[in-house]
């Protein structure tokens, strides 16, 4: 509230007077602006012991009744996928819907889709860590695990799409074969081998190093000898000493620095599969940043798809708060806007470049036989994220969850549109074709979701899905300067 006060002005001389009277002037003193205080990252002023008991209890207590049926269903889908892969190898790629000229279809679409899903884990873990964004702490562990499982699903499709799978190690490994024919290092497909394997290795190390303090916590809390030995082996003798924490923080920082370039490089290299070709619709320099933005977009969508049900089922509302969900929604809004801008720039480049073939490729995407796929992509990726401009949409969990699923559907359609619509009509109208997936295509892709969910369910069963040690560092108790902290919390 504003206050007023009378301030006397200094007396001075006036013409014809020896001394002028003192004049009082009323000055309005405004209150200083209120300091903006964000909601805490752990609600209800929970104690550090509550955080440990709640997060560690997820993998210490018996799983809820829904876990086993879900695991059995996911494992069944995964088994179906590997049975179909065996059928593919025994029969040949003719069991897929591939034709001439659509020689790439769902196989490479699924590969790029799963690689994109894994991008949010590295971004949340590495980039946000280097930027000192504390809100990452409740979601980084599950996002890192999601990265590894997505890479495991992605790695299947480039191998099986070559047809004679037994030749893949010969032509992709950097060793000469019996005829002294080395792998073609100018091929983008070989670049994928190095990019994806590096990405998976560094992501695994980053995930494991972050797990070590929490594995020691589970080791010390173990009720059975087997659990104590198992967690103890992987905890690497962690005792929480000052030396251990010092080495841990150095290693984590180094791995974050190594991982950060991978956020940009991996999906850029995947985009080179298309951009270095001369196919209209692929041969464009916008692909690397366009693919990276799309990968982060779809990755955050999958994080929300997994974390919102987990938040509800395990009663983690005080740890994964509305603030976490709202910030992820804002990232989806930002990257979705980038993707929408890239869609518009593709048409502008096709028109401005003056190539009739390039312009036809994009007109064919929007108004040709696959118009339904293109406009599904636009609806899901361009229109739906803009709902997050509204606060209600960012705070309503079931609505955020539905939009996150729509985002992932749209990003799969994006990869399908890029690949199939650029191939099905080439320079010779006599060779035009139309791709239709077979049941083997469909169920192999569905089975990859089974593998992803099987690995994720095993992860939440045996490992802490949230970084216990990191969440403790962002609680009000750990920050005596926080308005919700204070002398009592600082003393504890």
Are the C-beta atoms of residues 319 and 39 closer than 8 Å to each other?
Answer: no
What global pTM score does this model have?
Answer: 0.84
Q: CA 107, CA 440: separation in Å to the nearest integer?
A: 11
Q: CA 318, CA 47: separation in Å to the nearest integer?
A: 11
Q: CA 206, CA 144: separation in Å to the nearest integer?
A: 8
pLDDT on residue 387? 93
Q: Which residue ranges in the chain fall short of pLDDT 50?
A: 11-17, 483-492
pLDDT digit string (tens) for 187-245? 777 888 888 888 888 889 989 998 999 999 999 888 889 989 999 999 988 898 899 99
Residue 136 Cα distances to 36, 55, 120, 195, 471, angstroms: 20, 16, 11, 25, 9
pLDDT on residue 480? 52
Q: CA 71, CA 79: separation in Å to the nearest integer?
A: 12
Q: CA 22, CA 10: separation in Å to the nearest integer?
A: 7
Q: What is the DSSP string of 401-429?
A: HHHHHHHHHHHHHHHHHHHHHHHSS-S-G
Averaged pLDDT of the chain: 84
pLDDT on residue 50? 87
pLDDT on residue 8? 53
pLDDT on residue 240? 85
Contacts (Cβ under 8 Å, ≥6 apart) of 405: 301, 305
pLDDT on residue 20? 53
Host H or E run for residue 25: strand 24-29
- State the CB neighbour count (10 A cutoff) for residue 481: 8
Contacts (Cβ under 8 Å, ≥6 apart) of 156: 81, 85, 448
Percent of the chain with pLDDT over 70: 86
Cα Rg, the chain, nearest whole Å = 28
pLDDT digit string (tens) for 70-127? 999 999 999 999 999 999 988 888 888 888 888 888 888 999 899 888 887 888 888 8
Are the C-beta atoms of residues 188 and 195 closer than 8 Å to each other?
Answer: no
pLDDT on residue 23? 55
Within 276-396, residue ranges assigned H as helices are: 287-313, 322-353, 356-367, 371-378, 391-395
């Amino acid at each position: 509230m504003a206050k007023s006060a009378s301030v006397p002005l200094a007396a001075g001389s006036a013409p014809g007077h020896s001394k002028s009277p003192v004049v009082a002037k009323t000055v309005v003193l405004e209150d200083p602006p209120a300091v903006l205080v964000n909601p805490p990252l752990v609600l209800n002023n929970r104690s550090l012991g509550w955080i440990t008991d709640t997060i560690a209890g997820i993998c210490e207590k018996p799983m809820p009744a829904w876990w086993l049926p879900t695991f059995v269903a996911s494992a069944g889908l995964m088994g179906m996928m590997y049975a179909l892969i065996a059928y593919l190898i025994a029969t040949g790629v003719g069991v897929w819907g591939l034709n001439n000229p659509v020689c790439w279809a769902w196989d490479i679409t699924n590969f790029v889709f799963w690689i994109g899903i894994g991008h949010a884990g590295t971004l949340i873990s590495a980039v946000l860590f280097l930027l000192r964004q504390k809100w990452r702490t409740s979601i980084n562990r599950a996002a890192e695990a999601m990265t590894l499982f997505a890479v495991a699903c992605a790695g299947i499709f480039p191998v099986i799409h070559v047809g004679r799978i037994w030749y893949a190690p010969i032509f992709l490994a950097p060793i000469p074969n019996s005829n002294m024919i080395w792998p073609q290092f100018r091929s983008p497909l070989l670049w994928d081998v190095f990019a994806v394997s590096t990405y998976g290795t560094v992501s695994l190390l980053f995930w494991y190093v972050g797990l070590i303090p929490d594995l020691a916590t589970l080791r010390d809390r173990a009720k059975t000898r087997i659990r104590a030995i198992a967690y103890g082996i992987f905890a690497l003798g962690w005792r929480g000493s000052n030396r251990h924490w010092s080495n841990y923080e150095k290693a984590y920082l180094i791995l974050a620095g190594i991982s950060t370039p991978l956020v940009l490089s991996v999906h850029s290299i995947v985009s080179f599969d298309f951009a270095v070709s001369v196919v209209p619709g692929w041969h464009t320099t916008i692909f690397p940043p366009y693919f990276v933005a799309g990968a982060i977009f779809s990755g955050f969508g999958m994080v929300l798809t997994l974390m919102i049900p987990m938040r509800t089922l395990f009663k983690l509302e005080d740890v994964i708060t509305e603030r976490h969900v709202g910030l992820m929604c804002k990232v989806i809004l930002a990257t979705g806007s980038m993707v929408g801008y890239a869609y518009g720039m593709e048409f502008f480049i096709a028109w401005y470049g003056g190539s009739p073939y390039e312009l036809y490729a994009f007109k064919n995407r929007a108004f040709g036989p696959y118009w339904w796929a293109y406009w599904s992509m636009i609806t899901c990726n361009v229109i739906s994220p803009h709902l997050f401009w509204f606060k209600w949409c960012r705070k309503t969990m079931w609505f955020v969850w539905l939009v996150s699923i729509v985002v992932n559907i749209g990003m799969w359609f994006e990869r399908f549109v890029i690949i199939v619509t650029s191939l099905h009509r080439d320079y010779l109208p006599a060779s035009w074709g139309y791709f239709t997936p077979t049941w083997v295509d469909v169920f192999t892709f569905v089975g990859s979701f089974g593998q992803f969910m099987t690995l994720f369910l095993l992860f939440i069963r045996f490992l802490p899905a949230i970084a216990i040690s990191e969440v403790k560092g962002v609680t009000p108790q750990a920050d005596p300067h926080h308005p919700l902290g204070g002398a009592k919390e600082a003393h504890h």
